[in-house]
Amino acid sequence: MAYWIYENWAIDKAMVHIGECPFCRNGRGIHPGREEGRNGRWHGPIEDLEQARAQARILKKNARDCEFCLARI
């Protein structure tokens, strides 16, 4: 299973997702055609959940798991 981090500069947070999450879509996100880098960027894929969480905390102090996809595992 692959994990992705969305680093959001606009609201100063990072969120860890499972690649198949409908909000992540393996790093493509939910806004097709949107300019990359305007509000943030995707990091990944990362193969280990704890490694993804650690990387998210390095990116932003306000890091958390996606409540949609990671609450289900």
12 within a domain of the structure (yes/no): yes
Secondary structure (3-state) at 34: coil
Mean pLDDT of 4-14: 94
Tens digits of per-residue pLDDT, 23-66? Answer: 999 999 987 666 566 789 999 999 999 999 999 999 999 999 99
- Strand 13-18 relative to strand 63-65, pairing: parallel
How many independent structural domains does the chain possess? 1
22 within a domain of the structure (yes/no): yes
DSSP label of 3 = E
pLDDT band (50, 70, 90) for residue 72: confident
16 within a domain of the structure (yes/no): yes
Structure tokens at 30: 């939910």
65 within a domain of the structure (yes/no): yes
Structure tokens at 1: 């299973």
pLDDT at site 38: 78
The pTM is what? 0.90
Q: How far apart are CA 60 and CA 48, in angstroms?
A: 19
50 within a domain of the structure (yes/no): no
Give the residue numbers spanning the domain of 19: 3-44+56-72
pLDDT at site 36: 63
17 within a domain of the structure (yes/no): yes
49 within a domain of the structure (yes/no): no
Q: How far apart are CA 26 and CA 24, in angstroms?
A: 5
